Structure 1
Amino acid sequence: MSDPHDEPEVPDTLPEALIQRIDSLELPELKAVLSYVERRIDALRVPIEEEIEATAAGEVLQIENYGVYALVRKHPPNPDGPGVNTDIVSLYHVHRESQPDGAESLHWAYLGDVHNSEQIRCDSCGARLDKNASVCPHCGNKHISQSETGE
């Protein structure tokens, strides 16, 4: 385990004057710089919806962007030939993932097939859910199903 008081390794790509200025900052100022840099990176990135559309195999039906991740419903590619399998709607959790070389890629986590595309809203966070879902994948809370609400 490294000593928390060790100086961080200085990247070769940053100008010495910038490193000196950053090193002179106190903790509150450093946190403000970090917040600004994170917002600046987000402003320069291709929006996650565009990356999903450009890289998804199959046909994207819906993207719900939650900032740090997105939920994606799509028809998967047809395993028997060209096109998509319109009989299936699959649900994915997608987020950006940093690679060791500093590059980013999308990480797709398959959550399952949606057999009934009718939706309700989570009582806790308001997210749209499959009407048969028992737990909200967004906030983890159980929601009241349509049958319990009398709808």
Structure 2
Amino acid sequence: MSNTNEDPTPPDDLPQALIQRIDPLELPELKSLLSYIEKRIESLRTPIEAEIEADAAGEVLNIENHGAYALVRQHPPDPDGPGVNTDITSLYHVRREPHYDGTESLYWAYLGDLHNAAEARCESCGQTFDRGVDICPNCGSDDVDTGTEE
């Protein structure tokens, strides 16, 4: 186990001038700097919603961003050909997974298929949501197709 009182060795790719500015900082200043750096990194990242849309194999219906992860409802790809299987709505837990080389990828965990969900579709904006809604929660339109004939 290493001695925590020893000064750490800075990475080779940091400019010496930056190291000289950071080394004299005390603990409260370092914690503030760390908080700023984490926020800065997050501001430079591609939003997880955009990464999910680009990475998804099926049709993404809804993304709930919870910060460290997202819940994704989607129609999976059609196993019998191109397109998606609109009869099934699947739920996934998606998070960023860091790799040793500093890169990240999305890790998709299948949670199961949703029953009696995502059965209504707004004819105006195309958003899919739970049956039993008369007004689209996305755009406010009342042009909702519930898949039932009246």
TM superposition score normalised by structure 2 = 0.74
Quote the Cα distance in structure 2 between the aligned partners of 1:2 and 1:90.
46
Quote the Cα distance in structure 1 between the aligned partners of 2:108 and 2:9.
32
Shift of 1:69: 1.1
Q: Which moved more, 1:57-66 or 1:79-88?
A: 79-88
Larger Rg: 2
Query: Gaps spanning 5+ residues in structure 1: where?
Result: 119-129, 131-151
Quote the Cα distance in structure 2 between the aligned partners of 1:7 and 1:73.
47
Identity %: 71
Partner in structure 2 of residue 99 of structure 1: 99
Shift of 1:95: 1.1
Q: When the two structures are aligned, how many residues end up with a matched partner?
A: 119
Partner in structure 1 of residue 113 of structure 2: 113
Structure 2 matches for 1:2-151, cutoff 5 A?
Answer: 2-117=2-117
Shift of 1:109: 1.1
Quote the Cα distance in structure 2 between the aligned partners of 1:75 and 1:36.
38
RMSD of aligned residue pairs (Cα, Å): 1.5
Q: Which runs of 4+ in 1 moved over 3 A?
A: none
Question: CA-to-partner distance for each residue in 1:105-149, whole Å, 9 max, x for gaps?
Answer: 11111111111217xxxxxxxxxxx9xxxxxxxxxxxxxxxxxxx
Shift of 1:88: 0.9
